[in-house]
Amino acid sequence: MDYLLTIPAGFILFISLINFLTIRMPNKSAHIQESISVIVPLRNEATNVVDLVNSLRNQKSLIQVEYLLLDDNSEDDTLALLQQHASGLSNFHILSGGALPAGWIGKTWALEQLFEKSSGEIIISVDADVRLVPDAISRAVTLLKDAQLDFLSPYPKQLADSWSEKLIQPLLQWSWMSTVILRIAEKSSISSMVVANGQFFVVKRAALAQVGGYDSVRNKVLDDVVLARSLVKSGSYGCVANGAAIASTRMYSSWKEIQAGYGKSLHAAFGSVLGSAIAIAFLFLTGIAPLIAGIAGSSIGWFAFGAVTLTRAMSAIKVGTSGLDVFLHPISSALLIYLIIYSWMMRGQVQWKGRTL
């Protein structure tokens, strides 16, 4: 039965090594001649407004850029703070979102309104809690053009301070670094190979318009992945890139936020109950079973545990983090299995930004 451990461990080690050596990095900056529209949806983001505006206003090497920030009926001081801190910035435009229509979720409706108001040849959507280095947009667009892609998702560095964050957040990048050969996926027409992250998403306007804008994902909790798949199905090409050097974010600050955040989306991440069951089996075979087998005296078990730990270490090195959490992968796997099950149990009941999803 040892092959049940060696095959998946060897598989993800092989893929992780390829991605470690070949993943795209937005390293090159250049003056961008194309018109750029940076769109940001905000709901109850008062604590992020000041740093967000400063992060955007400091962007350089953009010849023609507009920043559109939409307050999505916030229940805090988001709108007032936006108006205060963007005052006098001629290329910043503050919008007030309309009422949420039936059949839409809040974020996709906000993005659709922003898209309709934008004029740029390249659309860049950024989450309110993402912080960009001054040449982040220039570097991202330069990579998009150099790689001849239609969309690009520079994955931000996931900041994690509490242990609950350190146990869960690194799994986001590890999951695709260890299962999808990214340089093949970016030129593939197979939509199931698509990897994307909506925290920082760059797309050509023509490609986005071809799929009907954000209307194509109006009711999708995982709007980023579904949008990327729609783009690929329409003939566009794109990929995820290592954006740790140009962007960072702290998604959640507590276990309660993690549980709510993943609770709203994980049931949709794997397509079906069967897909979720396969994901759980994969997490158990790669993350938990090797340690159990090793403790029981299996040398193969320890080999598999070491191989999987190495994949976590390679993922951490790529984003400039390292630490004890890579050796706690079995605990991380167990917690993620719990979150998948929790997400299915809580469908339609999870509250996010004051709305039920």
Which residue is associated with the tokens 């997490």? 283
Cβ–Cβ under 8 Å, residues 53 and 85:
yes
Query: Where do the domains of the chain lie?
Result: 3-21+256-356, 23-251
pLDDT digits over 202-246, tens only?
Answer: 999 999 999 999 999 999 988 999 999 999 999 999 999 999 999
Closest CA to 109 of 254, 4, 214: 214
Cα 259 to Cα 340: distance, rounded to the nearest angstrom: 10
pLDDT digits over 58-92, tens only?
Answer: 999 999 999 999 999 999 999 999 999 998 899 99
Mean pLDDT score across all residues of the chain: 93
Across the range 265-288, mean pLDDT stands at: 90
Confidence grade of residue 353 (pLDDT, cut at 50, 70, 90) = low
Is it the case that residue 269 has pLDDT exceeding 90?
A: no
| Token pair recorded at residue 115 | 């898209």
Structural element, H or E, at residue 71 = strand 62-71
| Token pair recorded at residue 292 | 């159990």
Q: pLDDT above 70 covers what percent of the chain?
A: 97
Output the pTM of the full model.
0.93
Confidence grade of residue 325 (pLDDT, cut at 50, 70, 90) = confident
> 3-state DSSP call for residue 357?
coil
Name the phi and psi angles at 117, rounded to 5. -85, -15
Name the phi and psi angles at 145, rounded to 5. -75, -45
Sign of the dihedral through C-alpha 351, 353, 354, 357: negative
Cβ–Cβ under 8 Å, residues 202 and 151:
yes
Q: Which residues contact 70 (CB under 8 A, 6 or more apart)?
A: 39, 40, 41, 42, 94, 95, 96, 97, 110, 113, 114
Neighbours of 181 (CB within 10 A): 14
> Residue 351: its pLDDT value, please?
62
Sign of the dihedral through C-alpha 261, 278, 201, 108: negative
> Residue 201: its pLDDT value, please?
98
Strand ordering across the sheet containing 238-242: 92-96, 62-71, 32-42, 122-126, 200-204, 151-155, 238-242
Cβ–Cβ under 8 Å, residues 58 and 134:
yes
Is it the case that residue 354 has pLDDT exceeding 80?
A: no
Cβ–Cβ under 8 Å, residues 320 and 21:
no
Name the phi and psi angles at 29, rounded to 5. -110, 145
Confidence grade of residue 349 (pLDDT, cut at 50, 70, 90) = low
The amino acid occupying position 310 is L
Pick the CATH number of 23-251 from 3.90.550.10, 3.40.1160.10, 3.80.10.10, 3.40.50.300: 3.90.550.10
Give the highest mean pLDDT range of 139-143, 215-219, 274-278, 345-349: 139-143
Between 60-74, 252-266, 300-314, the lowest mean confidence (pLDDT) is in 252-266
Across the range 10-39, mean pLDDT stands at: 96
Closest CA to 132 of 228, 60, 196: 60
Q: Which residues contact 153 (CB under 8 A, 6 or more apart)?
A: 195, 196, 197, 198, 200, 201, 202, 224, 228, 238, 239, 240, 241, 243
Beta strand 130-132 with 247-249 is antiparallel
Strand partners, 96: 71
Cα 250 to Cα 142: distance, rounded to the nearest angstrom: 26
